[in-house]
Amino acid sequence: MSEFLQHLINMLVLGGTYALLGIGLTLIFGIMNVVNFTHGVLYTFGAYIMFIVVQQLGLNFFLALPVAVLAGWLLGAAIELTLLRPLRGSDIDTTMLVMIGAWIAMQSGTLWIWGGVAKSVATPFPEAPLVLGPVSVSWLRLFVLAAAAMLILVTYLLINKTSLGRAMRATFQDHDTASLMGVNVDMIYTSTFAIGSSLAAAAGALLGPVYVIFPQMGDLAAVKAFAIVILGGLGNITGAVIGGFILALAEELGAGYVSSGYRDAMGFLIIIAVLIFRPTGLFARAERVG
């Protein structure tokens, strides 16, 4: 029983960051319809910003987090302005190829700047874990869960309760009508991509100190983010959050009770199952086609 409780606690902590990765990608992949291969690199980028600010500049850990989010926002905006804007209206394959190129170039860039050897970031949290009866959890991971929950809430409110969010939803439902209604469509494209990117950077900044930081760390994260988005239904924020927790649960229980060798295969098994039984995702709204 205590093992099961421990798995549940691990699932909560892991799920929070998966959800953060998922909502960032669902904004870009689901709502904007861009197959964003740079999502994992933005995740890596956020982690390296933490490394620069905390380890190299010696500044405060909590200050580094908003810096990483802002840096992710700026890099995302730059990608949208330089790569995606000229390609708007071109077919999905062209965009996909350009994004694959951007992914490879940026990953090689991180390798070139920081080298392949993993870096770690010191945190202000105590080493001794919080012990609750039979289960224990590190303070750092609790903080990560709380920060992820806050970011998810902010994103949810931004999309559903603000005029920017309304303009975003309008733009991606019907680009021309939104434009006729006075929405600055160009600005909406850039900010949506930037927000999605900043969430990926935030996830990397939060998880970098938990694990270690290296140039390829984003690859597996990106694959998981795609799994979460497909699981939750394209463009569905609530779906992405729940999808993140389902993936974490499947990995924890899969590793704990089935076979630890297949832990990272769980995400793919889920994608296959979802595509067979509910191709639009678990939480997709009924959608008009065509």
Q: Contact between 223 and other proteins (CB under 8 A)?
A: no
55, 138, 179, 280: residue in contact with other proteins (rule CB under 8 A)? 138
Distance CA 191, CA 38 (A): 16
Pick 165 or 256: Cβ nearer other proteins: 256
> What angle, rounded to 10 degrees, do the helices at 139-161 and 2-25 form?
40
Provide, rounded to whole angstroms, the least separation between the CB of residue 280 and other proteins. 30
Residue 30 and residue 173 in contact, taking contact as beta carbons nearer than 8 Å:
no
Pick 80 or 252: Cβ nearer other proteins: 252
Q: Contact between 117 and other proteins (CB under 8 A)?
A: yes
Which x/- pattern over 6-35 shows residues binding other proteins (rule: CB under 8 A)? xx--x---x---------------------
Q: Contact between 211 and other proteins (CB under 8 A)?
A: yes
**Partner residues linked to 130 by β-bridges:** 137
Contacts 24+ apart (CB under 8 A), 59-66: 61/121, 61/122, 61/123, 61/124, 61/209, 62/124, 64/205, 65/147, 65/202, 65/205, 65/206
| Count of positions on this chain that bind other proteins (CB under 8 A) | 37
Q: Within its chain, how far is the Cα of 95 from the centroid?
A: 20
Give the binding site for other proteins (CB under 8 A). 2-3, 6-7, 10, 14, 111, 115-118, 120, 127-129, 131, 136-138, 141, 211-212, 214-217, 220, 251-252, 254-256, 259-261, 263-264
